[in-house]
């Protein structure tokens, strides 16, 4: 509906003011205010990260006080004043707070920025000169995964600063900070993220995911199901996918776009529903004629590497995806000569990226080409992957990367690209999809859990002589970046230290867990936990200061 509809024009509607302008919306009173702002009023500067009041991306002002718009029913806004990020600037003239965010580089990916600005606006209206603790307290309900918060807090403390300079003066540019070119759009809420510019005539797609970590399944007759659900246009299965495999590694396309009779992790895509938005959303997974035969899952590396372990992928003997080595010198001999040897076993768990922007996108057919607007870190790799899935040439695929609200490696892999592309080509309609937070967490790649055994030895003066490391990485049900992690960790096993004798091995092991992939460092943080702990142990054994021992062994050019 139009955002400038006057309250008196719709006496049955819910009337309030938005950014000082009266509006009336004909929505059910229980509708989330965030949905009304975005879907009815077109104010997509308010972001949705969790829909549960946890991330604060949807923070707006209600009668001047910050609230999570996802947790406010629009009926509660009746007769009240709602302010969103779009209400802060005068055209392209940023207000003092927004200008401070620009000066301090406080908007990085920008998905949290509207929420941060609104929370800070609330604070500054009540307390124009807050101290650091008060700023941190006021912003505590809004999560940022990019900045580390420092720049944001500094910006709020500096909001009254008069300096609104964007570019350094002539002659002062070298070494000076410059404003991000997309700062204005991020600070005014106009930078379009993947869920912000979906065509009004788009069909919607929802993926139905496996409730089992390991199962065989069969899809029954879909004709009666389609007939019983008006507004549902298609139910896509593996049979609809021209090439049903993908993977970030150019040589390993082992993950189906839609599972084909076997599911290998809880949350794996099984079928995709395509149709009118409300129709697709209303269907419960249990209604679908999908018959599962669950089996015992291989949940960890220890189980997966037993001699009689069930194979996660039938052609991967021993559930071994790949292994990598680095060897140098005589490690065993050198360890035997060391004055001190530290040894340890280390375990790390899955880690979720938790980017604030959940996966979203939309696709359409343009003549013989497929155009996909999507949140991504890798548009060119995406083009190759989508062309391969569709079995068409790459020049017939155009990837339009939207603003990306955090990725950290997790948006290198394709997510809903394949199903959207196939659905748009099949229906000749724009097709859109937006995950919710549980779906994002169930389906996206994680940091590899690791199991590491390592030994590190040095001479009497603390000079490192030898290191041995055996590292197993749980790569989940499919390869993703498993080959990269397994082969890179041995290279990084010794960290930033010179160690003349070294033997390191990394293995990527398949399990029925979610696929593990790229995540800031590709296995290096897991290895660092091991070698840094062992260096601390050596320092303690020899009575040498920990920093001093590191300095003595640091790589030098
Ligand atoms: Fe805060 Fe990216 S800038 S989440």
Mutating to test ligand 1, I would choose from 108, 114, 357, 375 the residue with most ligand atoms within 8 A of its C-beta, which is 108
Q: Ligand 1, atom 1: nearest CA belongs to which residue? A: 144
- In three-state form (DSSP H/G/I as H, E/B as E, the rest C), the secondary structure along 398-467 is EEEECECCCCCCCCCCCCCHHHHHHHHHHHCCCEEEECCHHHHHHHCCEECCEEEEEEEEECCCCCEEEE
pLDDT along the chain (557 residues), means of 10: 44 90 95 97 97 97 98 97 94 88 93 98 96 96 96 92 66 79 93 96 98 98 96 98 96 97 98 97 96 97 96 97 95 97 97 96 97 97 98 98 95 96 97 97 96 98 97 97 91 94 97 95 92 97 97 92
- Ligand 1 center to residue 203 CA distance, Å? 30
> What residues flank ligand 1, with Cβ below 6 Å?
107-112, 144-147, 356, 406
pLDDT for res 7: 42
Mutating to test ligand 1, I would choose from 48, 102, 112 the residue with most ligand atoms within 8 A of its C-beta, which is 112
Q: Which long-range contacts (CB under 8 A, 24 or more apart) does 305-310 make?
A: 305/472, 305/509, 310/214
Report the atom number in ligand 1 closest to the C-alpha of 116: 1
pTM: 0.92
- Ligand 1 center to residue 147 CA distance, Å? 6
In angstroms, the Cα distances linking 281 to 277, 448, 523 are 6, 32, 38
DSSP 10-38: -TTSEEEEETTEEEEE---TTSBHHHIII
Report the atom number in ligand 1 closest to the C-alpha of 107: 3
pLDDT for res 5: 43
Instruction: Please tell me whether residue 347 adopts helix, strand or coil conformation.
Output: strand
* Beta-strand pair 397-401/369-374: parallel
Mutating to test ligand 1, I would choose from 59, 146, 186, 520 the residue with most ligand atoms within 8 A of its C-beta, which is 146
Report the atom number in ligand 1 closest to the C-alpha of 106: 3
- Ligand 1 center to residue 296 CA distance, Å? 40
In angstroms, the Cα distances linking 475 to 384, 440, 483, 486, 519 are 23, 18, 9, 9, 12
């Amino acid at each position: 509906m139009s955002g400038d509809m006057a309250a008196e024009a719709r006496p049955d509607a819910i009337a309030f003011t938005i950014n000082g302008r009266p509006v009336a919306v004909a929505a059910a009173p229980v509708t989330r205010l965030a949905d009304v702002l975005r879907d009815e009023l077109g104010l997509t500067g308010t972001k949705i990260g969790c829909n549960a009041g946890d991330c604060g991306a949807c923070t707006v002002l209600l009668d001047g006080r910050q609230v999570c718009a996802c947790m406010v029913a629009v009926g509660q806004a009746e007769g009240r004043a709602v302010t969103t990020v779009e209400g802060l600037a005068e055209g392209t003239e940023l207000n003092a707070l927004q200008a401070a965010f620009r000066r301090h580089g406080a908007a990085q990916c920008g998905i949290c920025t509207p929420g941060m600005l609104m929370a800070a606006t609330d604070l500054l209206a009540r307390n124009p000169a807050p101290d650091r603790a008060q700023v941190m307290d006021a912003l505590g309900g809004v999560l940022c995964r990019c900045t580390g918060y420092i720049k944001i807090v500094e910006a709020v403390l500096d909001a009254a600063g008069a300096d609104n300079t964007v570019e350094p003066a002539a002659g002062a540019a070298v070494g000076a900070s410059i404003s991000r070119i997309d700062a204005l759009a991020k600070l005014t809420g106009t930078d379009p993220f993947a869920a912000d510019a979906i065509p009004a005539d788009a069909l919607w797609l929802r993926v139905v995911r496996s409730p089992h970590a390991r199962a065989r399944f069969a899809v029954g007759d879909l004709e009666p199901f389609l007939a019983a659900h008006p507004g549902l246009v298609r139910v896509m299965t593996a049979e609809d996918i021209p090439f049903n495999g993908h993977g970030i590694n150019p040589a390993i396309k082992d993950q189906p776009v839609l599972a084909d009779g076997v599911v290998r992790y809880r949350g794996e895509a099984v079928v995709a529903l395509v149709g009118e938005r409300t129709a697709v959303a209303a269907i419960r997974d249990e209604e679908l004629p999908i018959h599962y035969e669950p089996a015992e899952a291989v949940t960890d590396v220890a189980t997966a590497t037993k001699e009689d372990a069930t194979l996660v992928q039938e052609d991967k003997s021993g559930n071994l995806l790949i292994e990598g080595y680095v060897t140098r010198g005589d490690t065993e001999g050198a360890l035997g000569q060391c004055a001190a040897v530290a040894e340890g076993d280390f375990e790390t768990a899955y880690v979720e990226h938790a980017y604030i922007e959940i996966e979203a996108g939309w696709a359409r057919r343009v003549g013989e080409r497929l155009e996909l607007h999507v949140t991504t870190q890798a548009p060119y790799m995406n083009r190759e992957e989508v062309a391969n899935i569709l079995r068409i040439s790459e020049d017939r695929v155009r990837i339009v990367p939207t603003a990306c609200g955090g990725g950290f490696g997790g948006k290198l892999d394709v997510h809903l690209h394949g199903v959207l592309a196939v659905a748009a080509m099949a229906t000749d309609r724009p097709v859109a999809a937006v995950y919710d937070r549980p779906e994002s967490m169930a389906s996206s790649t994680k940091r590899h859990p690791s199991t590491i055994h390592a030994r590190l030895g040095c001479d009497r003066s603390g000079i490192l002589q030898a290191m041995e490391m055996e590292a197993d990485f749980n790569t989940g049900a499919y390869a993703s970046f498993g080959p990269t992690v397994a082969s890179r960790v041995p290279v990084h096993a010794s960290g930033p230290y010179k160690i003349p004798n070294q033997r390191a091995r990394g293995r990527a092991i398949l399990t029925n867990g979610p696929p593990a992939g790229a995540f800031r460092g590709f296995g290096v943080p897991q290895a660092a936990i091991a070698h840094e702990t062992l260096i601390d142990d050596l320092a303690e054994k020899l009575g040498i200061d920990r920093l001093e021992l590191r300095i003595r062994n640091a790589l030098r050019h």
